[in-house]
Amino acid sequence: MTVHVLGPVEITKHGAPVPVRRRKQRLLLALLATRANQLVPLSRIIDVLWEQEVPKAARNQVHVHVAAVRRALTASDGDPAAVETCPTGYVLHAPPADVDLVRFDNAVARGETELSAGRLAEARRLFRTALAAWRGTALDGLEGRFAHAESARLEQRRLRVHEHQLDIGLTLGRFADLVPELAGLLSTHPLHEGFRRRYMLALYGAGRSADALAAFRDGRRVLGDELGIEPTRELRDTEVAILRATPVEELVGALPPAARREDGPDWAPRPRPRQLPAQVNHFVGRAEVLARLDDVAGRRRSPVLVTGPGGIGKTAVCTRWAHANAAGFPDGALYIDLRGSGPSPVEPAEALGRVLRALGTPAGRIPDDVNEAAADFRSLLASTRTLILLDDAASAAQVRPLLPGTPSCRALVTSRHRLDDLTVRDGVEPIRLDALSATEAGDLLAAIAGRRRLHNEPTGTIARLAAACEYRPTALRGAALQLAERPELRIAGFLRELLATPSFP
């Protein structure tokens, strides 16, 4: 009996599928299998199975779905005790369950041990054994936030293992053998510059210099057509080295097996910046916009642009979504105030310097050229799940170098301007943020100034104050804070003061 998540989610018995027909049961199976031998809390199961409206009988329904998964495991000659019921949740034990992800993890761990000991051929065999556990896209056929995030996470792990075993093959001089494998990987991942660099080296090592240079030109064209960017510095340096007939051993020496690198293995811990601003207190409304952000995140990994006038709450809504979804970006969250609405917007070179330092690049190694710095930025993010919040953008040109080049990352951009060029050229998803409703504006005033305080005021006066603030959260907060500080003042008098202020709202 085998539980598969590295491909379509299913249970098989002697290679034949055992039916798990209901979507929520397959989703539950995927959650338990990707956390095999770990307690999955009941609250987490409910969050995954019901992303939005949770039914009152959710706990009972979870018990029903767990029972169905147990029956499917038993029908495939599995041990019903493979799924253990605990006081706060459930555990899928492997063994007795044979989970393909567990086999993948075990083979990778053994491969790392062999690599550290310098046994390259055995390490490569184990990495290839790990990759053989895959049957397609992880969690294929499942929809929803958990499925999309987990699929992206596992895919990045698979790509890193591919890179490790390819580096060993290049070090062992198996250039001709690697050419067809790398050609296949590039056909599936044409934007993966690490695979393209290794493809160029394999072709060059196999005596096919012209083909290696053609592969670079193809990569430059694809990156330009798809993302509007130049190749990374490493890729450009490889092209120059081939043109100069640099010995292939010297080029391969620039990416030796991970265990022999001075800075440690590729999977060594990297900085994981957590730069998100604090969430505002008394957040109200915006359910539609937050749902739209969830929807975009579930469907695709393109950047999102939230626009609207000053004080409308763009930063607050993006920050709230980012904090709520931080678990989906375990490699970090970057934040830059681009100061686009002020007299001195942040230059792209300065912004890139900040994020590269946050990602661990020494100041002396940050390129002065914007395109080179942007390429290094994309390289550092290539195998990560990182969130980037670019706040108060002035123009598309300011934002473009700061967009990640990998679908595993997410960029949120806020601006007072429409930035149509980002939508047209870069596939950025635009979301327009409007003012709060009259009810939401009243709720925000009451939350800050005090409901008892406003209860004694005429309803029409509160409505006029909200209208005077143009239903913008920033102006409403400012007005409510002043009311809270001056409990003796009636709203009608306070409103007259505000309207007499030239700069209001």
User: Is 324 domain-assigned?
Assistant: yes
Residue 403 to residues 393, 409, 503, 505, Cα–Cα distance (Å): 12, 9, 35, 33
Supply the pLDDT for residue 13: 82
Which pLDDT does position 331 carry in this prediction? 82
Q: Are 205 and 340 members of one domain?
A: no
Tokens of 35: 């956390």
* Per-10-residue mean pLDDT, the chain, length 505: 90 82 91 88 88 85 91 72 84 86 89 81 92 93 87 88 90 92 92 91 92 93 86 88 89 59 41 86 86 76 88 92 85 93 93 92 83 85 85 94 85 94 86 91 85 73 86 87 78 76 62
Any long-range contacts for 408-411 (C-beta under 8 Å, 24+ apart)? Answer: 408/152, 408/153, 408/155, 408/156, 408/301, 408/383, 408/384, 409/301, 409/329, 409/381, 409/384, 409/385, 410/297, 410/301, 410/303, 410/304, 410/329, 410/386, 411/303, 411/304, 411/387
Alpha-helix runs per DSSP H in 337-427: 348-358, 370-381, 396-399, 420-426
CATH number assigned to the domain comprising residue 96? 1.10.10.10
The predicted-structure confidence for 234-270, as pLDDT tens digits, reads as follows: 889 899 999 999 888 888 876 644 433 333 334 344 6
Q: Which of 432, 467, 492 is the last residue of a domain?
A: 432
Provide the CATH number for the domain around residue 323: 3.40.50.300
The number of domains in the chain is 4
Q: Got the DSSP string for 421-459?
A: HHHHHH--EEEE--PPPHHHHHHHHHHHH-HHHHHTS-H
- From the CB of residue 98, how many other CB atoms can be counted at a distance below 10 Å? 16
Same domain (yes/no): 425, 496: no
- Both 121 and 197 in a single domain? yes
pLDDT in tens, 441-456: 888 888 887 777 777 7
The answer to the question of residue 270 being in a domain is no
**pLDDT single digits (tens) 396-425:** 999 999 998 777 789 999 999 999 988 888
**How much is the pLDDT for 134?**
95
- Residue 127 and residue 243 share a domain: yes
CATH number of the domain that residue 124 is part of: 1.25.40.10
| pTM metric for this prediction | 0.53
Q: Which domain holds residue 477?
A: 438-500
Residues 345 and 243 reside in one and the same domain: no
* 8-state DSSP, 274: B
